[in-house]
Structure 1
Amino acid sequence: MASWDRDSSRQWKVTGLRTRTLEIRGSLATDYADVLTPEAIAALEALAPLDAGRKRVMAERIARRGARARDRQMITFLDPDTTIPGTTIRVQDARDGRFVGSAIPADLQCQWIQGTGPAARPNTPTERSIRNVAYALLSGADGWMFDGEDALGQLSTMSLDNQRNLKLAINHAPVFMAAAEQIAAEMNAWARDFLGHTVIEDWQAQLDFTTKIFRARGLHLDDRHIRHADGQSFSASIVDVTLFIVNNYERLRAAGSSIVLYLPKIQTAEEAAIWGGILDALEVHLGLQVGTIKVYVLIEQVEASFQLMEIRAVLGEHFVGFNTGRWDYINSVSDAMGWAPSFSNPNIDTITMTYGYMREYEDRVRRATNTPDQLGRFALWQGGMEPNIPVGSEAGVQASMQRAMAGAEREQREGASGKWVAHWKMVHIVRPVWERVGEPNQLGRSFPPVTYTDADAQALTGLEATTRTIRGARDLLSVALQYGNAFGQGMQAAALKPADSFGNDDVLYLMEDMATGEIRLSILWEWLHKDAALTADDPETGVTAGDRFSSALFERLLVEEYDKLLRATDRDVYETSKTTTLPIAREIVEAYVRSDVKLPWYVDLLNINLDNNDLAEAKRRITLLTEAFRQDGTRITENIDFASAK
């Protein structure tokens, strides 16, 4: 590529196991022989030719984004008379339901509560790390999305640890069963104190209740440990789904369980077709019937809201439902409207699912899932994330749980068949909302059909007047800095709250993942570069309502919020991080927010600094990435340390 030459950036050399088509980094093929089995490697090799199509579509995505920004274009609906790229499906046929979708498997019919979280922890031995899986499978959740994406740290070999722990748990290995027995006792002790009763009667039987679901990394990401034999990067998506399915499909099917994935970050039906090709090829390779692998699609990109029925149609017999994420979606709207001077989001806490463009997006999702296919089949709508954790003062927990219950009740009324929670304790607090109603799902509930007017398109980026304050800016900065620091420590999901609330147990920690870091920086970028007006006085800074969010104001807040983190105790900011990953997080935050060209992903800047604690080297990498993107939109998504030791 013109702006970044891999071979001049660092010397490429073979460093590990090399097959006919792939290279596995360092000693990982030996160290993770239980995950990188001959069967798994053979499947990866079989799917490797599909990577070229993925790279082409991702390059087209960046070019499309750049053209819209350059020409100041809004996202539009597809021409109904055209064919969806990569398929033979006519757009209007997809919208009219003239396709064959999936029947909903028995173990997905009732998914009132799905928990989310990774199966591994950073720098932790297996016997402790696997406790994550035990908490999940003993939680009482109807399903658990084991995350390989936004909530899973990518430090060192965490992506492979994640796969190892899942395989051990699904096979009821002794190391997992020992952890599960201990966790069951701990969960019951908490439940007796908090709920007044136990939640687990037979812990071994409980392990089989929760449907196991896996979320792979998105098409835009490259794997950190496997690449093509010629040194070119290789799809993280292909690696994730292949390792999970090849290692576990026989055991899952023997137990009568479905093979279920969540697919993230899809922006278009053409991208869904790339996913469909991967799934079809894997089924053929494993001798599975077409449509055996079932998928939910996270609608977390605004462009996908313009192509919901098209995405359903393309995924056909794989597709079972949509999920309405919040944070990623807000970030995608901000990014899509980065060129529009008048588009500037308010304080992040005011952008709820009933706010402007969020309300319109949720409504389109519920309409699309309740549009029948040609066999009369509907799809599931899984509601959004509940990030609260019931740990804090009695008053704080009570107030937060009331908000959580109100949110769940609203989603149930609106037609969601269930929702997500970020912590196992929330399962027992939120699940009663659906239990009281008693229906397993809301498939086929009557809503108006999806429409495709100019007004619909405008509503999907519609703002509403609300607050934009210094307090809001401080919260954005503090959590963004903390998240970048946690990411560098290997925790892509972390319980965080603004520094001004440290020590205040009335303010609960919220479970934050990559998406919440992304949107915080996007909003700060908007405020700074679009001359956003603040809506309230702030005596501490001397700001009055109507003042603009200036560069000097951003600098002051950055210094002040960073200093608060340096002074924080080890409970909130690890002491060792203050001279390693925290300074790098600050450098990244400042580079992102100050860039006159809006960078698409905070995660890119974080990823290229994984396993790097040298600030000078971090600055060099930040410059490398930003200059490459400025020149021609290149995204550096591969592991530039691949040739280093494991």
Structure 2
Amino acid sequence: MSSNITIRNDLKNTYKDVYTDETLSALSALTHVNKRIKEVMATRMQRRAARQQNKTRIDFLDPASTIHGTTINVQDAREGKFEGSVIPADLQRQWIQGTGPAAKPNTPVENSIRNVAYALLSGADGWMFDGEDALGQVTTMSLDNQRNLKLAIHKDPVFLIVAANVAEEMNRWSRSFLGRDIVSDWEEQLNFTTKIFRARGLHLDDRHIRDADGVAMAASIVDSMLYVVNNYKALQKAGSSIVLYLPKIQTAEEAGVWNELLSGLENHLGLEIGTIKVYVLVEQLEATYQLMEIRAALGKHFVGYNTGRWDYINSVSDAMAWDKDFINPNIEAITMKYGYMRNYEDRVRRAVNTPDINGNFALWQGGMEPDIPVGSAAGVSASMKKAVAGAEREQGEGASGKWVAHWKMVHIVRPVWEKVGEANQLGREFARLTYSQQDADGLILIEPAPTDIRGARNLLSVALQYGNAFGQGMQAAALKPADFFGNDDILYLMEDMATGEIRLSILWEWAHKGAILTENDSEIDIKAGDVFSETLYRKLLVQEYEKLLNAGNKDVYDSSKTTTLPIAREIADTYILSGTKPPWFIDLLNINLNNTNLDVAKNRINLYMNTLAKEGTRITENLDFSK
């Protein structure tokens, strides 16, 4: 039942435990959705190009209109006149959700699957195993990720042996840091955490499968099919919900495509519509204008929203690239309390606590805590206080929980919600959403904040390091600016793909819009009021790149300095200097996966940028598909 799809090389046999007859049957049955996804992604690019050309802002939908691709009236959606979902028992309390990949690059199963053991023994209420921003895509990592999850969910002996060893390692750490064990019965602990999977967004293609027309299969189809089909029976047997996180949705029309895909899968498997539950990551500015419409389009599948930070900032920067007056400050200044960010968060909390036609509310999961408790005593203490304060703020604002990027943070942040003791904040009273010009203006509100050379160095250094890590298969990486290597008072932060996206986006703004620097900098003779220029950027690039070349192996692997790091520099340089702003940093990285030849990389980068400029389209397929 897979004659209408092509799997490259011998992967069908190598990963026959992932590409089972059941999964291939589902993929074959749903392959028609691939064409629909390509259509909405083309429409997305056309909207983006029109905004750039016509210098127009995103706006709210016409309340009298119908959501494209559905029969849902916009005003009905805003008023809650749709059927949503009752929150299942295992999602009622999600005080802390951890997030990270279920696999490591180029490692055997016994080592790679340790990621899953740490997650499920962490004490997190849920763990979002990432198939997207934090999962490396070199070689067959997407399939390793699926394999490890299947082994863990089915409690395969391979996983259980690893889990027993990991539990003891975790306790050794917790005794020294917390003064107590955090895992008392590891076998029982494995049942505590709700398993959640983040599929790749509609804008990404799978690297291993093409449809009957030779078109790369949307990664969203592949990820959701493989995860759900391989695991739904085991999850249901254990009394667990089947839960996905859906990333990078920009419009209610796109949410409708997801609904079509998930409903089609449920029909194929003989499941009741709405069996698969989804959170939506609000990572895109346009989505903030259509929150109720997105809820309505996903209907019985939708359980909640998540308010992230990096990806959302990137989307605002990208949507406003045409506006010379819209310039973000230092990334460190753009907290959830900043201008457009606090307005974004406020709209999300008001959207989830607007009831549907049956009186059902939805969940709001707060943002990411990237800190890791590793460093000097003073550095860790200061960072942990900041992390707890951030969690207290979100809990007070109405979030039912938040994310952490490392298992060690679970028992540091979770007590914020434990002390309050409420399972969630469903139905907390907030004013209904309004759709005025003032609301629209608030979603792109820039406020005065530092814009300085220190900020530029931080942006550039971390962006280069992230591109380098991506090329090595580490899309989740602990990073900090090169000037702080060796300074244990400045902690590493767990970063993922959004890290690179936003840092290059802001640097592009500064270079092309002439950001006014707010601070003096004696090191390179800059005074407050000077303009950030391409010349200044080039000078900083030379300096920051040199620091990475001279860094120790701990911070920048020596083997990468002549392989993936030069390619990361070429991509960053092309992105920042291009008059045509690339829509996604990840595109330029993806077309260079498994490539360490700089000349090949330059040709591919030029091909991408020329195609974008001339045709307005992205290259998203695996250029090495036949290899």
TM-score for both structures, normalised by structure 2: 1.00
Q: Which amino acid aligns with 2:620?
A: T
Describe the superposition over 1:104-159 as per-residue Cα deviations: whole angstroms up to 9, x where unpaired: 00000000000000000000100000000000000000000000000000000000
CA distance in 2, matches of 1:107, 1:193: 31
> Equivalent residue for 2:343?
360
1:40-439 superposed matches below 5 A: 40-439=23-422
Report the RMSD for the aligned CA atoms in angstroms: 0.6
1:296 match: secondary structure: strand
> Equivalent residue for 2:566?
583
CA distance in 1, matches of 2:157, 2:50: 55
Kept in 2: contact 1:19–1:229 (CA 8 A): no
CA distance in 2, matches of 1:80, 1:473: 42
Shift of 1:19: 3.9
User: Does 2:455 correspond to 1:472?
Assistant: yes
1:116 match: secondary structure: strand
Describe the superposition over 1:402-455 as per-residue Cα deviations: whole angstroms up to 9, x where unpaired: 110010000000000000000000000000000000000000000011000011
Q: Which amino acid aligns with 1:567?
A: N
CA distance in 2, matches of 1:175, 1:578: 36
CA distance in 2, matches of 1:302, 1:629: 22
CA distance in 2, matches of 1:24, 1:547: 54
1:322 match: secondary structure: strand
> Equivalent residue for 1:503?
486
Describe the superposition over 1:489-512 as per-residue Cα deviations: whole angstroms up to 9, x where unpaired: 001110000000000000000001
Shift of 1:87: 0.7
Describe the superposition over 1:313-360 as per-residue Cα deviations: whole angstroms up to 9, x where unpaired: 010100000000100000000000000000100000000000000000
2:151 match: secondary structure: helix
CA distance in 2, matches of 1:440, 1:140: 15
CA distance in 2, matches of 1:506, 1:531: 33
* Pairing partner for 2:524 from 529, 541, 558: 541
1:510-529 superposed matches below 5 A: 510-529=493-512
CA distance in 2, matches of 1:583, 1:85: 44
> Equivalent residue for 2:468?
485
User: Does 2:596 correspond to 1:639?
Assistant: no
Q: Which amino acid aligns with 2:460?
A: L
2:31 match: secondary structure: helix
2:561 match: secondary structure: helix
Describe the superposition over 1:245-298 as per-residue Cα deviations: whole angstroms up to 9, x where unpaired: 000000000000000000000000000000000000000000000100000000
Kept in 1: contact 2:548–2:556 (CA 8 A): yes
Q: Which amino acid aligns with 1:131?
A: R
Kept in 1: contact 2:67–2:253 (CA 8 A): yes
Kept in 1: contact 2:2–2:25 (CA 8 A): no
CA distance in 2, matches of 1:550, 1:89: 48
* Pairing partner for 1:31 from 6, 10, 14: 14
Q: Which amino acid aligns with 2:452?
A: T
Shift of 1:551: 1.4
CA distance in 2, matches of 1:631, 1:140: 51
TM-score for both structures, normalised by structure 1: 0.97
Kept in 1: contact 2:183–2:189 (CA 8 A): yes
Kept in 1: contact 2:78–2:292 (CA 8 A): yes
1:540 match: secondary structure: helix
Q: Which amino acid aligns with 2:17?
A: D
1:449 match: secondary structure: coil
* Count of matched residue positions in the alignment of Structure 1 and Structure 2: 627
- What percent of counterpart residues are identical? 69
Q: Which amino acid aligns with 1:423?
A: H
CA distance in 1, matches of 2:423, 2:615: 50
Q: Which amino acid aligns with 1:191?
A: S
Describe the superposition over 1:158-210 as per-residue Cα deviations: whole angstroms up to 9, x where unpaired: 00000000000011111100110000001111111000111111000000000
Shift of 1:233: 1.1
Name stretches of at least 5 consecutive residues in structure 1 with no aligned partner. 1-17
CA distance in 2, matches of 1:559, 1:399: 32
Structure 1 residue runs of 4 or more that deviate by more than 6 Å after TM superposition: none
Describe the superposition over 1:76-109 as per-residue Cα deviations: whole angstroms up to 9, x where unpaired: 0000000101111100000000011000000000
Shift of 1:621: 0.3
Shift of 1:62: 0.0
Shift of 1:230: 3.1
CA distance in 1, matches of 2:147, 2:388: 35
Shift of 1:632: 2.2
Shift of 1:482: 0.1
Name stretches of at least 5 consecutive residues in structure 2 with no aligned partner. none
CA distance in 2, matches of 1:230, 1:100: 37
CA distance in 1, matches of 2:566, 2:342: 38
